[in-house]
Amino acid sequence: MDKKLMTIDLNSQILIEKAEKDGVETMYDRKNGFKSQCGFGLQGTCCRICGMGPCRISPKTPRGLCGADEHTIVGRNFARMVAGGTAAHSDHARDIAHTLALSSRDGNYKIRDEKKLIELAIDWGVETECRDIYDIAHEVAEIGLMEFGKPHGVSIFLKNAPKVRQEIWKTIGIEPRAIDREIATVMHSTHIGCSADIDSLINLSLRTSMADGWQGSMIGTRFSDIMFGTPMPTQTEANLGVLEENKVNIILHGHEPTLSEMIVLAADDPELLALAKEMGAEGINLSGMCCTGNEITMRHGVKIAGDFHQQELALVTGAVEAMIVDVQCIFPALAYVADCYHTKFITTSPKAKITGSTYMQFSEENAYKDAKKIVKEAVLNFKNRKPEKVLIPEFKSPATVGYSIDAILSQLDRVVNFNVDKTGTVKPLIDCLKSGVIRGVAAVVGCNNAKSVTNKNHVTIMKELIKNDILVVSTGCGAQAAAKFGLMDKGAKKLCGKGLATVCELVDIPPVLHMGSCVDISRIVDIVSECAKYLDVDMCDIPAVGIAPEWMSEKAVAIGTYVVASGIDTYLGIAPPVTGSKKAVEILTNGLKKEVGAAFTINENPDELAAIIIDDIEKKRDHFEKII
Ligand code: NFS
């Protein structure tokens, strides 16, 4: 197979070749093996919702056995994808909220950002005067937990949006109530014999996605910052070249920082460091993948081993003592690949047990002890490494990461005229947008998808945008693509247009800002909302867009949908399985404009998609310049 047609990442190309030589099957082999994918599935016209099916819709058989047409089938499948994604993000947030409820001064989980906790407490009407910070934290955690199942009212975060946006949500009935309720409602409405109306199914999808974006994810990000610290700019490196030949290599993969934060601590434990020496290693080398990788690089500068498509290839290096995972985006194939080397593939969550892995349950109550046990397992495995099987590819790129909103605002303060303006506001960003030095802001986010050449869509689009003076912010595996290809290095300003290059110089930032994990897309929504409020306009008036060039997960579908529902146009580099219904395509790519002021655009050619985005941002600017 031609590796260049598979991925543009040079390390990955080297390791695909090694896997071939080692006789190890990877995703890239399986992709070749599939030849073509099922057309019904691709278009979303296969219904497996009841036991009479599967019913596959075509011109010859235009209705399923119950009479559901292509619009109903596509709409139901789409809504269930949104519900799946919302469930995953929100269950992550739920665990973080339970952990905040456990936090204590002498326990494993402490409060690291008291200011953020107090601000949130005041916003939520929690008494803060003369109270112990942990009592406040526990009450805030309880309120957060109630958001999952409260019987009355709507999301507690909606009031933070611009008033006009809140009105839109109310008018079209997409204010999310309780998170679990929205997910359950979609599962109910898409059961055999319920909703059979595409408008209603998409409306339900929007409301459920709002429970992800304007409820669960906001809890996840805020509570994580409160407990683990709000990220600030820090230096790191990215790509598999961060693995080290003479150290115990541990890769953390998955999502929830509750586990990874403890592993970061345990990897510094003197007892385990001494044990590593005893095993003949020079130390313990931690690195991260996927969103866990993002969480720990944002807060501790832990090196980024790679993205979603590199999880198997990381093990193919033969240099990884343990791949430690919790939930989401973990290939079951890791069990087979780990078997071909000495690697311990350690699963830790009862929500994601995987056959063939070593299961070592992690519980928040016993966090540090559990983490130590897991790291010890990795350290003891160093002696089993087979030097003849080791190949660590050399490429890695420097990156500056850690751009929470707080961090961005404090960087922007560098250009504030202290005699006239307040610090810590979005004004400098707005001034850049108003003057046109920066044409717009684009959030380039999301996964890797085997339907495209790995990383190509991400890198092509990001480079094109920064060349055209569009500031890029990024999360998820998209952020890892940017970091690997040097776009999060401050030196990347040489790739920017003149305006953006000047801003990067003055504000001292790279042109692509790492804003965290996919749950942290709540940060992006927040900053667009803050800009809109500052200007007293709607979120759809800001020249900001969302782009998921290589999305693949249900979580990404939920995200794209709430970003659109927030009034931010969203561009997809991979077609979602909705093309079997003309009505669904029309609503998602056009009809929603009238309802929420934004819609999806789909184009699988990254050059064309970049050109469309740049053009659309300029059109948005015409409107923006008129109203401000
Ligand atoms: Ni996001 Fe994170 Fe990566 Fe995609 Fe998976 S890691 S939550 S879903 S693959 S960006």
Domain boundaries, the chain: 3-45, 70-228, 240-389, 400-627
Tokens of 468: 């055209």
What's the CATH number for 240-389?
3.40.50.2030
Q: Is 329 in the pocket of ligand 1 (CB under 6 A)?
A: yes
Check pLDDT > 80 for residue 1: no
In this structure, the residue with its CA closest to atom 2 of ligand 1 is: 291
Residue 135 CA to ligand 1 centre (angstroms): 34
Residue 553 CA to ligand 1 centre (angstroms): 7
For residues 516 and 512, give the distance between their C-alpha atoms in angstroms, rounded to a whole number.
Answer: 12
Spatial neighbors of 589 by CB under 8 A, at least 6 apart, are: 599, 600, 601, 602
Share of the chain above pLDDT 90, in %: 97
Pairing assessment for the beta strands 46-47 and 440-444 based on DSSP bridges: unpaired
Residue 5 banded pLDDT, cuts 50, 70, 90: confident
So what's the pLDDT on residue 16?
Answer: 97
Domain spanning 70-228, CATH class: mainly alpha
Residue 182 CA to ligand 1 centre (angstroms): 22
Q: Is 308 in the pocket of ligand 1 (CB under 6 A)?
A: yes
For residues 218 and 214, give the distance between their C-alpha atoms in angstroms, rounded to a whole number.
Answer: 6
Check pLDDT > 90 for residue 9: yes
Residue 126 banded pLDDT, cuts 50, 70, 90: very high
Q: Which of 32-36, 236-240, 261-265, 532-536 has the lowest mean pLDDT?
A: 32-36
In terms of Cα–Cα distance, which of 590, 415, 350, 397 is closest to 512? Answer: 397
Spatial neighbors of 283 by CB under 8 A, at least 6 apart, are: 247, 248, 273, 276, 277
Element (H, E) at 235: strand 234-238
In terms of Cα–Cα distance, which of 323, 81, 42, 108 is closest to 183? Answer: 81
pLDDT in tens, 382-420: 999 999 999 999 999 999 999 999 999 999 999 888 888
For residues 388 and 47, give the distance between their C-alpha atoms in angstroms, rounded to a whole number.
Answer: 50
So what's the pLDDT on residue 3?
Answer: 78
Q: Considering the domain 400-627, what is its CATH architecture?
A: 3-Layer(aba) Sandwich (3.40)
pLDDT in tens, 208-234: 999 999 999 999 999 999 999 999 999
Residue 5 CA to ligand 1 centre (angstroms): 22
So what's the pLDDT on residue 4?
Answer: 80
Which ligand 1 atom is the nearest neighbour of the CA of 328? 5
Q: Which of 1-15, 205-219, 272-286, 385-399 has the lowest mean pLDDT?
A: 1-15
Check pLDDT > 90 for residue 334: yes
Which ligand 1 atom is the nearest neighbour of the CA of 448? 9
For residues 211 and 87, give the distance between their C-alpha atoms in angstroms, rounded to a whole number.
Answer: 9
Half-sphere exposure of 508 (CA within 13 A, CB side): 9
So what's the pLDDT on residue 416?
Answer: 86
Residue 597 banded pLDDT, cuts 50, 70, 90: very high
Q: Is 521 in the pocket of ligand 1 (CB under 6 A)?
A: no
Fold match, 240-389 / 400-627: yes
Residue 36 banded pLDDT, cuts 50, 70, 90: confident
Pairing assessment for the beta strands 46-47 and 55-56 based on DSSP bridges: antiparallel
For residues 623 and 544, give the distance between their C-alpha atoms in angstroms, rounded to a whole number.
Answer: 12
For residues 332 and 296, give the distance between their C-alpha atoms in angstroms, rounded to a whole number.
Answer: 23
Paired with 323 in beta bridges are 251, 345
Three-state SS at 558: helix
pLDDT in tens, 527-546: 999 999 999 999 999 999 99
Q: What letter represents residue 516's amino acid?
A: G
Mutate to test the pocket of ligand 1, among 290, 454, 522 (most ligand atoms within 8 A of CB): 290
Which ligand 1 atom is the nearest neighbour of the CA of 255? 2
Residue 278 CA to ligand 1 centre (angstroms): 37
In terms of Cα–Cα distance, which of 514, 524, 559, 521 is closest to 544? Answer: 524
Tokens of 414: 């560098």
Residues 565 and 209: beta-carbon distance below 8 Å: yes
So what's the pLDDT on residue 421?
Answer: 86
What mean pLDDT do residues 472-477 have?
Answer: 98
For residues 334 and 314, give the distance between their C-alpha atoms in angstroms, rounded to a whole number.
Answer: 10
Spatial neighbors of 448 by CB under 8 A, at least 6 apart, are: 307, 308, 309, 454, 455, 477, 481, 550, 552
| Burial 370-391, CB ≥16 within 10 A → b, else e | bbbebbbbbbbbbeebeeeeeb
What mean pLDDT do residues 260-278 have?
Answer: 98
Question: Could you tell me the sign of the dihedral formed by the alpha carbons of 400, 406, 409, 413, in that order?
Answer: negative
Residues 290 and 312: beta-carbon distance below 8 Å: no
Does the model's pTM come out above 0.80?
Answer: yes
pLDDT in tens, 138-177: 999 999 999 999 999 999 999 999 999 999 999 999 999 9
- On the question of a cis peptide bond just before residue 151, with omega within 30 degrees of 0, the verdict is no
Q: Is 553 in the pocket of ligand 1 (CB under 6 A)?
A: yes
Residue 167 CA to ligand 1 centre (angstroms): 32
ipTM attached to this prediction: 0.95
pLDDT in tens, 190-211: 999 999 999 999 999 999 999 9
Q: Is 476 in the pocket of ligand 1 (CB under 6 A)?
A: yes
Check pLDDT > 90 for residue 80: yes
Check pLDDT > 80 for residue 329: yes
So what's the pLDDT on residue 234?
Answer: 98
So what's the pLDDT on residue 35?
Answer: 79
For residues 549 and 546, give the distance between their C-alpha atoms in angstroms, rounded to a whole number.
Answer: 10
Residues 319 and 390: beta-carbon distance below 8 Å: yes
For residues 293 and 303, give the distance between their C-alpha atoms in angstroms, rounded to a whole number.
Answer: 8
So what's the pLDDT on residue 535?
Answer: 97
Q: Is 516 in the pocket of ligand 1 (CB under 6 A)?
A: no
Half-sphere exposure of 203 (CA within 13 A, CB side): 16
